Copies of this chain bind each other. A is one copy, B any other.
Amino acid sequence: MPSDIDIARAADMQPIKRVAEKLDIPADAILEYGPYKGKVSYDYLRSIQNRPRGKLILVTAINPTPAGEGKTTTTVGLGDALNRIGKRTAICLREPSLGPCFGVKGGAAGGGHAQVVPMEDINLHFTGDFHAITSAHNLLAALIDNHIHWGNTLGFDTRRIAWKRVMDMNDRALREITIAQGGVANGFPREDGFDITVASEVMAIFCLATDLKDLEDRLAKIVVGYTREQEPITTGDLGAESPMAVLLRDALMPNIVQTLENNPAFIHGGPFANIAHGCNSVMATQSGLHLADYTVTEAGFGADLGAEKFFNIKCRKAGLQPNAAVIVATARALKMHGGVAKDQLGEENVAAIRAGCANLTRHIANVKGFGVPVVVAINRFTSDTDAELEEIRAQAETQGVRAVLCSHWADGSAGTQELAEHVVALADAGTDAFQPLYGDDMSLWDKARTVAQELYGAGDIDADSQVRARFQELQDQGYGNFPICMAKTQYSFSTDPTQMGAPSGHTVTIREVRVSAGAGFLVAVTGEILTMPGLPSHPAANDIYLDQNGWIQGLF
């Protein structure tokens, strides 16, 4: 089979305005960025905001393993298949981050015959949204240090600045730095650091904002530091939310591109799924719901993080009602959850599948617990045996859920048609009854405990006295109604990334709590969360180049 980029390049792309026509978006509502990328104008979005909403389908997954699951490809394949069976469908995905493209990961626009295109553009600068977010974030950082330089009338305690800088690059050397060295003209030296752009609270805000006004209001609430008396200082205190909103004005319009089968896809925003909520923008999801009968979207990492945050943070805040969920699994990944080593995955091992399905069945139960009907999508590999696939089906059946074979990577929408038909049946059955796991008024500590106990299978949560005091302090400061954003390893229900399957009774230790006051959630950090990746010894960058035609090669 040819490489992803070769398949993508061979695609018979349609002009983006013609793609938009499939959702009856008029040509003058599309701001083109080259012939194949567009943004949907604010004027048009306003004109459709009172339309009834279509059905919302979430694509999530088991805990990821090195064997891969294929969540993005399944999202694309499902969207294409829904279109194939005559359902007017929009796909909503996160924008890839530029940094990781040059590290290990390569591109993030699907794969095989289930991709969004133009894949090079989507993976690189796209329409500039991440650059705008980077600029807005760093303008705020510059204004903070500038304020301190010129007299610090707001009284920042420079040991307690809570706003780092960001760059959309994997650059470990910027994780911990000392800035403002070199004398009086350069300001007051202090320790600082860079996160990758997707870890910026501006990114989280961008993805939860419902319009420009809401965006600016949220930006104003960001806590950027504290006084000596530990009183918070916000973006609003600096008056920085307005120029930041100016920098984000164009970016907040949702991007529209197409799948290999010329179906419309909104790709917009991409916050981290650990310290943030890991879903594409509310602007994009709402656009889909107002324009299509079915909107298929994905959430980051496994369902313990991605789906949980999609439900408890995004759906809660945006008032969304998901109608069905797809949990993606592969036989290979389930074998790894069942204890098989990576180099043994090619051999049939039904017992390992059965053991590994403990991971799958807990995710199924969790998602059903939110009142959302579930189907399992088995992303098929040629090495999978019938007995293995039958075992997955049987295990899903124990939860009253169907598991459907999918081969979109090789076959495009033909490979996900059965999944699409089942999703339609589920979403149209009227059996969905979504509700978040906890109410706004539950205490912050109890919210974290509820997630850990009900979804992770934990015995309890724990924290040292300082962190517990911080929980209480935030409760007292008026953040008690915020949902909790758990920053946990993506690889396990526990906080130990090596614990695969479905561990139980473990303790989830919370090491730190951070306030994302603009985004409107508290981040409970468990384990080590790296917010600035590094490059490997042989970075993908070394294999990416322009060929003699000026075409990009080596981007996967």
Interface residues of A (CB under 8 A from B): 31-35, 39, 42, 98, 102, 121, 124-125, 128, 131-132, 134-135, 138-139, 141-143, 145-146, 149-151, 165, 167-182, 185-187, 191-192, 212, 216, 239-240, 242-243, 245-247, 249-250, 534-535, 537, 539, 541-542, 544-546, 550, 552, 555
Contacts and interface: CB of A to CB of B under 8 A. Distances in A.
B135 A169 contact: yes
A177 to B, nearest CB: 5
B125 A546 contact: no
Nearest to A138: B169
A187 B537 CA distance: 12
A550 B249 CA distance: 8
Given A246-B552, A249-B550, 15 more contacts: A31-B34, A102-B139, A102-B243, A125-B128, A128-B128, A131-B134, A131-B135, A135-B169, A138-B171, A142-B171, A146-B535, A150-B537, A172-B180, A177-B177, A246-B555
Contacts of A186: 172-173, 175-176
Copies in the complex: 2
A546 B212 contact: yes
B142 A546 contact: no
8 contacts: A32-B35, A146-B172, A146-B534, A173-B187, A177-B178, A216-B546, A242-B544, A243-B545
A149 B32 contact: no
A545 B124 contact: no
Looking at A32, A125, A552, which has the most chain B CB atoms within 10 Å of its CB? A125
A42 B173 CA distance: 37
A532 to B, nearest CB: 9
Given A146-B539, A537-B151, A546 B172 contact: no
Contact of A177 (B32, B149, B181): B181
Nearest to A239: B542
A131 B124 CA distance: 11
Nearest to A132: B125
A169 B139 contact: yes
Q: Of residues A34, A180, A185, which shows the largest number of chain B Cβ atoms within 10 Å of its Cβ?
A: A34
A26 to B, nearest CB: 14
Contacts of A546: 212, 216, 242, 245-246, 249
Contacts of A132: 125
